[in-house]
Structure 1
Amino acid sequence: MHYKRVIPCMDVDNGRVVKGTKFIDIRDAGDPVELAAHYDAQGADELIFLDITATSDKRATVVELARRAADQVFVPFTIGGGVRQVQDAHDVLGAGADKVAINSAALARPELIDELAQVFGAQCVVLAIDAKRRPDGSYEAYVAGGRTPTGKDALEWAREGVERGAGEILLTSMDRDGTNDGYELRLTNRVANVVDVPVIASGGAGHPQDLVEALTVGADAVLCASIFHYGSHTIPEVKDALRKAGFETRPIAANPLA
């Protein structure tokens, strides 16, 4: 049976989970590993940590985060931030992460995707794409938290990334991120239709129905941050909504901490 996944995401800045609206109005949401353990116990299917700390020595930070998380959580987790070469990924995966997410480093040097897939396998490589809608209705890939355009068409980049070996696409609408207005369904559907790997919908979840809609248009998994961090909804609550909508999810009782 193919389960749809509910994935809490933790944006980590200087060791703390933060969340804002389109990466502004940032609020503190707690310790990343404590939150991760809480979500694990609630029935999260996977976890994603994205280190957004502005430091040149980010690799040491994410390696330590991976090590701490591996000691506390039992579900698979992905770490992004600081992975710019194969050795960086080796260190993070060796510390306990199951996957690495790459974004700006892959845009700067697309061959990085090929190298990571060849060494670790596509299942360990998540290509994160931050996209904004252009006036003509197309979508452009951005970096720096949605502040810097790359000139790269987001759909073409998703297709290229998968051809190079990415095993999953983490797709964030920067127009919706943190707004709680729902995912960008048109973007999600378009990317899901051009790649043959799972697409994780991200950016904008505010209610369980938003998750249902993202899965309906083709997402394989749904990523959420603020609705969980600030207690407006729980993982059991959203999984119940997904099941009622006809989507199979991993039973929460299967979690060793439940």
Structure 2
Amino acid sequence: MSKSENNQPSIMEALQEAKGFLQTNGREEGVAELLLMFHLGCNKTELLMNLREPMDAVLYSAFKKDIEEHAKTGIPLQHLTGEEEFLGRRYYVNRDVLIPRPETEELVLGVEELIHKHLPGQDLTIADIGTGSGIIATSLKLAFPQANVIATDISERALLVAKSNSRTLGADLTLKHGSYLEPLGHLDTRVNVLVSNPPYIDEADKEHMADTVKNFDPSLALFADENGLAAYKAIISGLPEVLALPAIVAFEIGWQQGAQVRDLLLSKFPKAEVEVRQDINGKDRMVFAWICE
């Protein structure tokens, strides 16, 4: 393999070396390409065009260090880069918040669809419960600029991340600290759209999770009691006190929780139209409710 004049590896050599190292250590080799693009500040096309170029020594050292840390500890790529994409926008993330996932994009798009169907042109007050990095609240504020969007979280550190993201992306959110619906009780207004991606994993399932998740995502945002249903029960029980009917309620769920969350909603609102939707992988992932009375 060719070397540059200062004996630094080419970009291609650095990439192949990293892929092999990750594979040997049981990690996904695709992380190498993504991490290399981050360090080079380039996209996929630019990377391919410059594979034979020598890699800067400082960048190579930093890239190699991150590859070795990921291989050793499982630290997610997003914690090394400090960012993740969600619905075409870049968000800052750290260990205080969940890393945005594609399934949550489907949740947001489903909420937008229901707003256009049921509440077109209306003054909206939207609440995102357990906002984390602020991806849901920020996305909905940018989709509906005239809406009053409230984002709550029990973690003050998570709210700092949400505040940073909303400001960077130009979304004017109302951020409130507290558990589930508690912050909404202190407001003068009720909400007609409520969405949440709450903790829904049973503690008993922790041992079966990948180390990249269980050792790095915040436990507060992952795990819930009562077979993972505690958050839904807490939120749904308080809905009559915070909703302005008619209203839309939307949850992300664990793939085995669709029937239970649907039944929880119907027990509180027997006449609601409740739908369990599957994600792109064919698993139950979202529950949407249209509540008129």
Q: Would you call these one fold, judging by a TM-score over 0.5?
A: no
Which structure has greater helix proportion? 2
Relative contact order higher in (CA < 8 Å, ≥ 6 apart): 1
Larger radius of gyration between Structure 1 and Structure 2: 2
**TM-score, normalization: structure 1?**
0.36
